[in-house]
A and B are shown apart, each in its own frame.
Chain A
Amino acid sequence: MNKSNLFKLLALLVIASLALAACGAEATPAVDAGPKVTSNGFTCPEPSPRIDVTSTELNIFVWTEYIPQDMLDCFELVYPIKLNRDEYSSNEEMYAKVSAGGSAYDLVQPTDYIIGLMIRQELLKELDKAQMPNIVNFDDGWMNQDFDPGNKYSIPYLAGTDSIVVNTDTVENVPQSWADLWKPEYAGKMIFLDDSRAVIGITLLTLGYDVNTTDPAQLEEAKAKLAELVPNIKVFDSDSPKTALIAGDADLGMAWTGEAFIANQENPAIQYIYPTEGPILWQDNWVMLKDAAHEDAAYAWLNYTMQGDVFWLTIRDFQYTNPNKAAIEYAKANYPDVYNAYADSPITNPPAEAVANGHGITDVGDATPLYDDIWVEVKGQ
């Protein structure tokens, strides 16, 4: 091709890329007076209190499908801060990226059990409660947990359970316990989480052991038992298990609160069952990384999202168990439909027996490689 045409093409590419780069990297929006409204038509509440911020960016590393879009949009509208968001779908993946170093995230959302490891590895910065006045919004029942006494490093985000999901239309005998899932009639129809601790954990429960055991003999038994189950599992998915359930590619299996809720909405035949051995309980939290470059922006985000009139969006968009009592009160007062859907659902509001029966996963320290090895070997067959 002759020179001049090629140069024209290259020039076009230059202009195109510059244009798109300019479009994409918008200047941070100016903060002006007047109501801020997101593209969904949601009017953003003002931050209270308003933090003084000099950073212009905030880098967060979060779970997929976990933060309401309006929450993200509103933050960028009320503060002149650009939010950069990357996502992960397993704690281990998050940990690998964060501990590898070289990443520039400010805030991440680890689940309870991995916080102990992150503290031990000195990856976290202590939180300054003085900069988070809205922390009083949280229900005391979710604070001061074993994995972070005194909430030195973390504050709660959302909580939930891992339990059995069943499509009652396509499955005749609805399983009532984790052990039931080993039945041959379910072979090739199941979806499970791609989460070593959760899946090994429930296997241990079926054997009557503790989900956090460090006893190698018990773990060997669990490995053997799990090896029987894995061939029956059709798909492992920790990103969006509801997709396979709604699409009919899987009929039953293991999922968590938010996924089960949405699946149930799309198809009421999909039900969430708390097994007799007890579900897995978990709590996700915000932590700040030690090398966070934008501390003030991080505190601004945490305070803003902790507000009742902002956090209630999670009740609306991503249905999980909510530890923020201000948000619950706000929803109850202003959006009763949303509140009732939340309060009435056994998925988001598990019955007391289920919670009492439930098991939390904790950090097992030196025994962690044992679990990892089981997982690799059992899935590799």
Chain B
Amino acid sequence: MLQRLRENKSAQGTLLALPTTVWLFILLIIPLILTLIVSFGRRSPDGDVIYTFTLDNYARLIGYSTDCPDGQTACFDSLYVNILGRSLSLAFNTTLFVITLAYPLAYFIARAHPKQRNLYLFMVLIPLWTNFVIRVYAWMMLLRKEGAINIILGWVMNALNIPFTPLEMLYTPGAVLVGMIYEFLPFMILPIYTSLEKIDASLYEAAADLGANSVKTFLRVTLPLSMPGVVAGTILVFIPVMGTFIVSDILGGRQVILVGNLIQRQFLDARDPTFGSAASLILMVLTLIVTYFYTRKFGFGEEIVVG
């Protein structure tokens, strides 16, 4: 039989891929199917799932109801749509800020002397390798009313004789944005660096020979060729931001409700797994849609993820 196995390439392939596929099927596909089933269910008063088929949970997400003021037959309450919108907007803003901050740094490292590049990358990696929760905590300490930032600002203002009241930075949406940017910045720096580094130096020489100044070189050569890195980085940033609940929990004072928080609350506090499952799936679908359109325009950038 071993002999037959050796000859049958297709069987070899199947065998090699089998463990992973089975593992992922059990731990990923089946849970997703379960989530789907639960999302069509109804909640019992005690928080259990009654398995039935109803679209109530999805209707609730878009706020559809027939019990409307002004005698309309159908109307929409935007509560949950707002939460989704808030999360999308936070994800977009975070990604934009992260790209803006990451690009110059990546550019700097890519153009640095080869012997120094590792050092600079090393310095980017260290914060990334410290713990996620610790990084959020660090910002809590900086942003609070009597935290480091306010203290330093206080000194500066006092030295300049300007009256100063400490800024309320913690427990605001701004704090959540800063926290998100900080968490995911390294994930953008690395892919952009990788794609910049791959650009053949001779292209710059060619551009110079053709008379392009540095701005033009950047816009026509560097930027387009670095796009795969930007794309890969965006995917690595956008998707997690959509689902994170820790940052908004700790830095937002449990006030800033994002989709991640909504889902977490449905399962933990509100005891409504049916609604939580529906929200989970909508989150996933939304993320997939955005990712799909984005990668269709810009490519998947996978060569950068692993570079």
Binding site for B on A (CB under 8 A): 90, 92-93, 95-97, 99, 117, 120-121, 188, 194, 196, 233-237, 247-249, 365-369, 372-373, 375-377, 379-381
B45 near A188 with CB under 8 A, answer: no
B272 sits at the interface (CB 8 A): yes
A92 near B268 with CB under 8 A, answer: yes
B146 sits at the interface (CB 8 A): yes
Q: List the one stretch of B75-83, B153-161, B209-217, B289-297 in contact with chain A.
A: B75-83
A95 near B253 with CB under 8 A, answer: no
A368 near B80 with CB under 8 A, answer: no
| Interfacial chain B residues near A247, Cβ < 8 Å | 144-146
Between A and B, 23 residue pairs with Cβ closer than 8 Å are A90-B269, A92-B270, A96-B267, A96-B268, A96-B269, A97-B268, A120-B46, A121-B46, A188-B168, A196-B270, A233-B255, A234-B168, A234-B171, A234-B255, A237-B254, A247-B144, A368-B47, A369-B43, A373-B270, A376-B266, A376-B270, A379-B257, A380-B80
| Interfacial chain A residues near B269, Cβ < 8 Å | 90, 92-93, 96, 196, 372, 375
Beyond A117-B46, A249-B171, A380-B257, whether A96 also contacts B271 by CB under 8 A is yes
Most buried by A among B45, B80, B145, B262: B45
Binding site for A on B (CB under 8 A): 43, 45-48, 79-80, 82-83, 144-146, 168, 170-171, 253-255, 257, 262, 265-272
| Interfacial chain A residues near B262, Cβ < 8 Å | 376, 380
| Interfacial chain B residues near A379, Cβ < 8 Å | 254-255, 257
Residue of B nearest to A377 (CB): B79
| Interfacial chain B residues near A90, Cβ < 8 Å | 268-269
| Interfacial chain B residues near A366, Cβ < 8 Å | 45
Residue of A nearest to B270 (CB): A372
Beyond A247-B146, A372-B270, A372-B272, whether A235 also contacts B254 by CB under 8 A is yes
Q: Report how far A235 CA is from B168 CA in the complex, Å.
A: 12
Report the minimal beta-carbon distance from B171 to chain A, rounded to whole angstroms.
5
| Interfacial chain B residues near A233, Cβ < 8 Å | 255
| Interfacial chain A residues near B171, Cβ < 8 Å | 234-235, 249
Residue of A nearest to B80 (CB): A380
Report the minimal beta-carbon distance from A95 to chain B, rounded to whole angstroms.
7
Consensus secondary structure, chain B interface: loop
| Interfacial chain A residues near B254, Cβ < 8 Å | 194, 235-237, 379
| Interfacial chain B residues near A381, Cβ < 8 Å | 79, 82
| Interfacial chain A residues near B270, Cβ < 8 Å | 92, 196, 372-373, 375-376
| Interfacial chain B residues near A99, Cβ < 8 Å | 47-48
B47 near A95 with CB under 8 A, answer: yes
Q: Report how far A366 CA is from B44 CA in the complex, Å.
A: 9
A368 near B170 with CB under 8 A, answer: no
Report the minimal beta-carbon distance from A363 to chain B, rounded to whole angstroms.
10
A92 near B271 with CB under 8 A, answer: yes
| Interfacial chain B residues near A368, Cβ < 8 Å | 45-47, 271
| Interfacial chain B residues near A372, Cβ < 8 Å | 269-272
A249 near B144 with CB under 8 A, answer: yes
Residue of A nearest to B269 (CB): A92
Report the minimal beta-carbon distance from A1 to chain B, rounded to whole angstroms.
12
Query: Which residue in A92, A237, A380 is a CB contact (below 8 Å) of B82?
Result: A380
| Interfacial chain A residues near B47, Cβ < 8 Å | 95-96, 99, 368
Beyond A235-B254, A380-B79, A380-B82, whether A249 also contacts B170 by CB under 8 A is yes
| Interfacial chain A residues near B272, Cβ < 8 Å | 369, 372
Report the minimal beta-carbon distance from A266 to chain B, rounded to whole angstroms.
13
Residue of B nearest to A92 (CB): B269
Report the minimal beta-carbon distance from A107 to chain B, rounded to whole angstroms.
20
Query: Which residue in A93, A234, A377 is a CB contact (below 8 Å) of B253?
Result: A234
Report the minimal beta-carbon distance from B151 to chain A, rounded to whole angstroms.
12
A95 near B168 with CB under 8 A, answer: no
Residue of B nearest to A195 (CB): B269
A248 near B146 with CB under 8 A, answer: yes
> Knowing that A236-B255, A380-B262, A381-B79 are A-B contacts, what are 8 other residue pairs whose CB atoms are under 8 Å apart, sorted by A's residue number?
A92-B271, A117-B46, A235-B253, A249-B144, A369-B43, A376-B270, A379-B254, A380-B79
